[in-house]
Amino acid sequence: MPHDFMPGLAGVPAATSSISDVDGQRGILEYRGIRIEELCTHSSYLETAYLLLFGHLPAQAEFQQWTSDVTRHRRIKFRIIDLLKCLPEQGHPMDALQAAVAALGMFYPGRNVKDIENNYWSAVRLVAKLPTIVAAWARLRHGDAPIPPRDELGFSENFFYMLTESVSHPLWADIFDDCLILHAEHTMNASTFTGLVTASTLADPYTVVASSIGALKGPLHGGANEEVVVMLKDIRTPDHAQSFVEDALNNKKKLMGFGHRVYKVKDPRATVLQGLCQRLFKECGSSPLYQVALEVERAAGTLLNGKGIYPNVDFYSGIIYDKMGIDRDLFTPLFAMARVSGWLAHWLEQLRENKLFRPDQIYSGEHNRPYLPLEQR
């Protein structure tokens, strides 16, 4: 059997997919053939989720039905809230989210993933309930009661309401919705691949999403957005950026929010997010972190751009959430709230022509070793 081992499976296709496409040389990302810039300008997160899941932009009646189905399924059972209450409040929200999503699967019958109707309702529930879980945990850990969703509020408006008990500045919901669009899908990344492996065993979608959440958590993937804000706060002022970047690179440390396996130019999501920062700060006052970030990007540019390393999606997103007063450890759960639609789109695609993932390995150990009795070792 031929073995072309590619560490990290870099460049090895794991599936054929029509969900999204990245052109890493030109910095282009499309969902179902539509550029993300266009979706941010014209679409909403819920509409984009529909596009990803079902392959086309919804007609009016389809969109009404989808919006109403998601809206009606935002509530979570009191036992999920009880489960969250049992978790240690200093625990990471990604762990709480993963536990709650795995538990959701125990409440909803129908483990048969060949049931298309049931799969639709699973997708509705997961898209609808993740924000409610994230907001409930954010409040419970501070000793506050969770706030139930309000049906008359849009997806992003309602999330802010469940988090803060007040209706946010309209611009915030608008910008936040764009952030969700930008995080909704991204081809065969680590968390999507993890979900696909789980999906290929015909596990239920709650288990698929719970496994993807686990993979998203790591600092080399979705967890980088938190680390970026820590880094920018450490740097403190723009005039420290140059020396910080030089020190980090001289000591072979990676700059968080920079670099990507596929993009060899600036991540187009980082460009849109930077525009969103500017819109937000024009209306609500600037953020000191943004000024530091600009200087880090400039300093890193001269040293790293030659190697094809530029800001990725995680570089500017945390600055927006920080300005909106969202706790830093919630940034990755926000990513998961958005990415669930992409994970589920891949799950549905995988089910159409499923084949169990069972890759090969190159064995590098010994053969025919004798068993040494304990007293002779």
Q: For residue 31, which of 268, 220, 270 has the smallest C-alpha distance?
A: 268
Distance of CA 337 to the CA centre of its chain: 7
What are residue 311's DSSP bridge partners? 258
Catalytic residue among 178, 204, 267, 314: 314
- Whether 314 sits among the annotated catalytic residues: the reply is yes
* Of the residues 103, 126, 184, 313, which one makes contact with ligand ACO according to CB under 6 A: 313
Q: Kindly identify the residues of this chain, within the stretch 3-42, that bind ligand ACO according to CB under 6 A.
A: 8
Task: Give the range of 79-87, 198-206, 257-265, 366-374 binding ligand ACO by CB under 6 A.
Answer: 257-265
Give yes or no for residue 250 binding ligand ACO (CB under 6 A).
no
Laid out side by side, the sheet with 28-31 consists of 20-23, 28-31, 34-35
What are residue 23's DSSP bridge partners? 28
Q: For residue 131, which of 62, 204, 183, 189 has the smallest C-alpha distance?
A: 183
Give yes or no for residue 342 binding ligand ACO (CB under 6 A).
no
3-state secondary structure 293-345: HHHHHHHHHHHHHHHCCCECCHHHHHHHHHHCCCCHHHHHHHHHHHHHHHHHH
Supply the minimum distance, in Å, between the C-beta of residue 11 and ligand ACO.
Answer: 10
Closest CB to ligand ACO among residues 300, 324: 300
Give yes or no for residue 222 binding ligand ACO (CB under 6 A).
yes
Give yes or no for residue 229 binding ligand ACO (CB under 6 A).
no
Give yes or no for residue 92 binding ligand ACO (CB under 6 A).
no
Q: Do the beta carbons of residue 97 and residue 27 sit within 8 Å? A: no
Supply the minimum distance, in Å, between the C-beta of residue 303 and ligand ACO.
Answer: 9
Is the torsion defined by CA of 262, 219, 123, 148 positive or negative? negative
Tell me how far apart the terminal alpha carbons of the chain are, to the nearest angstrom.
37
What gap in Å lies between CA 201 and CA 281, rounded to an integer?
Answer: 46
Reading phi first (left if > 0) and then psi (alpha if -120 to 50, else beta), residue 165 is in left
Which residue is closest to ligand ACO by CB?
259
* Of the residues 43, 312, 317, 341, which one makes contact with ligand ACO according to CB under 6 A: 312
* Of the residues 128, 255, 324, 326, which one makes contact with ligand ACO according to CB under 6 A: 255
* Of the residues 125, 141, 260, 346, which one makes contact with ligand ACO according to CB under 6 A: 260
Closest CB to ligand ACO among residues 149, 311: 311
What gap in Å lies between CA 212 and CA 206, rounded to an integer?
Answer: 10
Q: Kindly identify the residues of this chain, within the stretch 108-127, that bind ligand ACO according to CB under 6 A.
A: none
Closest CB to ligand ACO among residues 204, 267: 267
Closest CB to ligand ACO among residues 47, 314: 314
Q: How many residues bind ligand ACO, per CB under 6 A?
A: 18
DSSP 59: P
Give the per-residue contact string, 281-310, with ligand ACO (x = CB under 6 A; - = no). Answer: --------------------------x-x-
Fill in the amino acid letter for 360.
Answer: D
Catalytic residue among 260, 267, 322, 346: 260
Q: Kindly identify the residues of this chain, within the stretch 127-166, that bind ligand ACO according to CB under 6 A.
A: none
* Of the residues 221, 240, 279, 328, which one makes contact with ligand ACO according to CB under 6 A: 221
Is the torsion defined by CA of 82, 87, 89, 92 positive or negative? negative
What gap in Å lies between CA 229 and CA 327, rounded to an integer?
Answer: 11
Enzyme catalytic residues: 260, 314
Site residues (vs ligand ACO, CB under 6 A): 8, 220-222, 224, 254-261, 307, 309, 312-314
